[in-house]
Amino acid sequence: MELNVISRHLALHLETQIPRQAEFAQVYRYSVLPAGKLFRPSLVWALALDLGENTPTDENSNHAFLASAVEIHHAYTLIHDDLPCMDDDSMRRGRPSVHQAFGQWQALLAGDGLLNASYGLLSNINSPNLGKVLRLFSKYLGPQGLIQGQVSDLSGEISQSFEKLLSAHDQKTGKLIQVSILASYLLTEKFSYRIFIDLLKLGFHMGIVFQLLDDFTEFTESSLSSHERMVNPWLHFAKEAELTLNKGIDEIERITCRHDLKNLKKMITGYYLNISNKLDDGVENLKLNGISPLTANSVSNFIGKAYH
């Protein structure tokens, strides 16, 4: 699915969920549009095209509503993440974060609104598996999933052990990826329990691998905040992170090949290439930020193995 089509669906679907004539509507639009990389909604479509048969692709199709719901839910988490009481980030995607552009109460309410809007879009889905999709969203993205991951991060629990860090990574990053993949599969309406379990594992490993690589690329920047240094696993659990990364990359390769997930694998390969380019461009900063050449070489080799 082309990104411009996903983006067009997203803009259309957002308008159905917000008070279009109200002044506050501009806060919602600013929060969601223009969209970022659209990675998670692209996962929805990649899986649908890999495992679905004759999957409809129009704006009123089940997968279109799911893709937009996933992205709008993701947008709400970013708004709240950026707030001063959480990560306190003033910039997002190259422009002021929502609370910087409009104010803190506006950002808080916009996030609340988009959270509810994501479920509003899901309610448009016409499928016997809608109940399962809703339960998946609620469990994986709610108090037992994504939100608990943020609790672990902000409370400092994430830095107590590598196991707790992995759990938080799974909850904060992995659960939204798992929802994108698993809900998409449920909407293909051709169910295999074995495939479902493999996709669950795939989403888990993707979440861990992607977050570990994102953590590593932080060192390609000129400086890290004190919070970033406190929770970054490569400063505290480098050996464990290497082993987990290598295993995760192997598992992703195994599962995508087993089920011939060509579109999904193409997306993942593109992600690896992007990370590889970042590491090549930021090699000097890696040294300045205290990353040993041995660790840097290991990570580069893991990535190279993944996309060659």
pLDDT in tens, 257-304: 999 999 999 999 999 999 999 998 888 888 888 888 888 889 988 888
Judgement on whether residues 181 and 231 belong to the same structural domain of the protein: no
One-character DSSP codes across the chain: --HHHHHHHHHHHHHTTS-TTSTTHHHHHHHHSS----HHHHHHHHHHHHH-SS---STTSHHHHHHHHHHHHHHHHHHHHHSTTTT--SEETTEE-HHHHH-HHHHHHHHHHHHHHHHHHHTT---TTHHHHHHHHHHHHSTTTHHHHHHHHHHTGGGS-HHHHHHHHIIIIIHHHHHHHHHHHHTTT---HHHHHHHHHHHHHHHHHHHHHHHHHGGGSS---HHHHHH-HHHH-HHHHHHHHHHHHHHHHHHHHHTT-HHHHHHHHHHHHHHHHHHHHTHHHHHHTT--HHHHHHHHHHHHHHH-
pLDDT band with cut points at 50, 70 and 90 for residue 308: low
What is the model's pLDDT at position 63? Answer: 97
Distance (Å, whole) CA 242 – CA 47: 28
What is the model's pLDDT at position 287? Answer: 83
Judgement on whether residues 48 and 168 belong to the same structural domain of the protein: yes
If you search the block for the tokens 């990675």, which residue do you land on?
39
- For Cα atoms 179, 182, 185, give the angle at the middle one, nearest 5 degrees: 140
Residues of the domain holding 135: 1-190
Q: What is the mean pLDDT of residues 35-48?
A: 96
Give the CATH number of the domain where residue 75 resides. 1.10.600.10
Judgement on whether residues 232 and 158 belong to the same structural domain of the protein: no
Distance (Å, whole) CA 166 – CA 262: 28
- Tens-place pLDDT, residues 64-114: 999 999 999 999 999 999 999 998 999 999 999 999 999 999 999 999 999
CA distances (Å), origin 123, targets 55, 87, 113, 156, 179: 19, 32, 15, 36, 16
CA distances (Å), origin 260, targets 46, 158, 254: 12, 35, 10
* Predicted TM-score (pTM) of this structure: 0.95
Domain stop point among 125, 156, 190: 190
Judgement on whether residues 73 and 113 belong to the same structural domain of the protein: yes
Half-sphere exposure of residue 135, counting CA atoms within 13 Å on the CB side?
5
Judgement on whether residues 239 and 151 belong to the same structural domain of the protein: no
Judgement on whether residues 151 and 204 belong to the same structural domain of the protein: no
Domain stop point among 170, 190, 210: 190
Domain stop point among 190, 213, 230: 190
Domain tally, the chain: 2
